[in-house]
């Protein structure tokens, strides 16, 4: 049996943050009803690569869901919404501040309609505080949550990370909150409001940088390759430094292309074997006993020279060849893997993290798989729904509506946009 079998979710979210959360819950077995306006989730048409087909932006975030279209601007559409609320365990939204309230559905009203329902809400900056009404997007959240100021090279501009920590990261946080609230609702009979702000989620993912921020009040950060000092204040950008107790960095390998790099971590326990292996090749056969590198404190002081020597050794090898040299020495390392590398990687395919699917509009395509592996209920990934594909199915199976009632609601415009007025 699937882990969340029997849990029904009314998913009003759109774009990335919310759909990330609801897709994970759907992969764990929840019945996720994607509740869309008649025009559909905006991402269905964004960055479209196949004419007249849902975009990859949409399909990659909405697998295993059922789609119903409802016109919430009509009284009949609101009735359908209310009936669905009473049949669901969770309702999710990531509208701008006040949107649902203006439709007449505050959290207090929703809780009154279904006291046990859990409501999940994603906001850019939360519903309280001076930033509450600001708009947020992925990179805005990264900027304001601390990620950008600590990412990049020391003397260069701040960088965003390619990982979607503002959107998808917030979706992961929401999933945790919803499951906790659902567990409590099942014990107490009372649901609650679960809010995750994108800025808050990014800040949580930057926790180690706030560790270093406080360490700077007591002294310098010896593991950083850039200068630091007591009372410095803000944590500096430090390129590819590991940011941990052990020294780490990316080493450029042949043929020295954009992604021909190997990231290595030089632990105290592996230095002797590493130094004995590379020392003769870089003209320092006694490297393992060289006083500049023998102890981790000295390696920290002289890490720029250490990285120069390791880079010199790596010039003769590809990233995979260098990895094969380091693995027997127990040196933690990993090649910088491009999207092309990962899409064709044997390990990734074996773990079902790159999954082929078929879609009625776009044909064969690939999706990133389920990262959470449950031994007794592995995820079975199915395609995303076409717009409104399950409207009648949901009305009949979930709400018990008959054909006559459905026909009447259709005629009243409950599931479609009102006709445009003539100019």
Q: How far apart are CA 175 and CA 22, in angstroms?
A: 8
Tokens at 161, concatenated? 């990370």
Tokens at 256, concatenated? 């020295």
Output the 3-class SS for the chain: CCCCCCCEEEECCCCCHHHHHHHHHHHCCCEEEEEECCCCCHHHCCCCCCCCCCCHHHHCCCCCEEEEECCCCCHHHHHHHHHHHCCCCEEEECCCCCHHHHCCCCHHHHHHHCCCCEEEEEECCCCCCCCCCCCCCHHHHHHHCCCHHHCCCCCCCCCCCCCCCCCHHHHHHHHHHHHHHHHHHHHHCCCCEEEEEHHHHHHHHCHHHHHHHHHCCCCCCCCCCCCCCCCCCCCCCCCCCCCCCCEEEEEECCCCCCCCEEEEEECHHHHHHHHHHHCHHHCCCCHHHCCCCCCHHHHHHCHHHHHHHHHHHHCCCCHHHHHHHHHHHCCCEEECCCHHHHHCCHHHHHCCCEEEEEECCCEEEEEECCCCCCCCCCCCCCCCCCCCCCHHHHHHHCCCCCHHHHHHHHHCCCCCCCCCCCC
Q: How far apart are CA 295 and CA 371, in angstroms?
A: 39
| Residue 167 appears among annotated catalytic residues | yes
Among residues 11, 89, 167, 241, the one annotated as catalytic is 167
Q: Which of 126, 121, 94, 132 is nearest to 16 (CA)?
A: 94
Residues 113/114/118/123 CA torsion (nearest 10 deg): -10
Phi, psi at residue 200, to the nearest 5°? -65, -40
Q: Which residues are catalytic?
A: 167
């Amino acid at each position: 049996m699937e882990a969340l079998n029997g849990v029904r979710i009314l998913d009003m979210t759109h774009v990335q943050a919310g759909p990330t959360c609801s897709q994970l819950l759907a992969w764990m077995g929840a019945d996720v009803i994607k509740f869309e306006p008649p025009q559909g989730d905006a991402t269905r048409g964004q960055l479209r690569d196949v004419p007249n087909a849902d975009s990859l932006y949409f399909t990659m975030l909405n697998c295993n869901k059922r789609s119903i279209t409802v016109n919430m601007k009509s009284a009949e559409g609101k009735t359908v919404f209310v009936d669905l609320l009473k049949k669901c365990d969770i309702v999710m939204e990531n509208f701008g501040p006040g949107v649902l309230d203006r439709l007449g559905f505050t959290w207090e009203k929703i809780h009154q309609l279904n006291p046990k329902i859990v409501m999940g809400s994603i906001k850019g900056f939360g519903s309280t505080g001076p930033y509450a009404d600001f708009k947020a997007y992925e990179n805005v959240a990264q900027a304001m949550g601390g990620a950008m100021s600590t990412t990049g090279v020391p003397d260069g501009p701040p960088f965003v990370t390619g990982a979607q920590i503002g959107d998808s990261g917030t979706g992961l946080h929401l999933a945790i909150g919803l499951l906790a609230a659902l567990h409590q609702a099942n014990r107490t009979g009372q649901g609650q409001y679960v809010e995750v702000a994108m800025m808050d989620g990014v800040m949580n993912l930057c926790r180690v940088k706030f560790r270093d921020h406080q360490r700077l009040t007591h002294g310098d950060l010896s593991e950083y390759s850039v200068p630091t000092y007591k009372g410095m204040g803000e944590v500096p950008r430090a390129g590819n430094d590991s940011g941990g107790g052990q020294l780490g960095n990316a080493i450029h390998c042949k043929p020295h292309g954009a992604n021909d790099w190997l990231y290595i971590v030089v632990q105290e326990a592996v230095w002797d074997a590493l130094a004995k292996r590379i020392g003769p090749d870089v003209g320092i056969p006694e490297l393992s006993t060289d006083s500049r590198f023998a102890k981790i404190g000295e390696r920290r002081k002289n890490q720029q020279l250490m990285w120069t020597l390791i880079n010199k050794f790596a010039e003769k090898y590809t990233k995979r060849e260098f990895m094969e040299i380091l693995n027997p020495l127990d040196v933690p390392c990993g090649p910088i893997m491009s999207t092309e590398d990962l899409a064709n990687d044997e390990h990734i395919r074996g773990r079902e993290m790159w999954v082929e699917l078929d879609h009625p509009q776009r044909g064969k395509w690939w999706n990133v798989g389920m990262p959470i592996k449950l031994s007794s209920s592995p995820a079975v990934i199915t395609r995303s729904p076409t717009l409104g594909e399950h409207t009648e199915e949901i009305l009949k199976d979930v709400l018990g509506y008959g054909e006559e009632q459905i026909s009447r609601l259709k005629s009243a415009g409950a599931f479609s946009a009102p006709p445009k007025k003539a100019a």
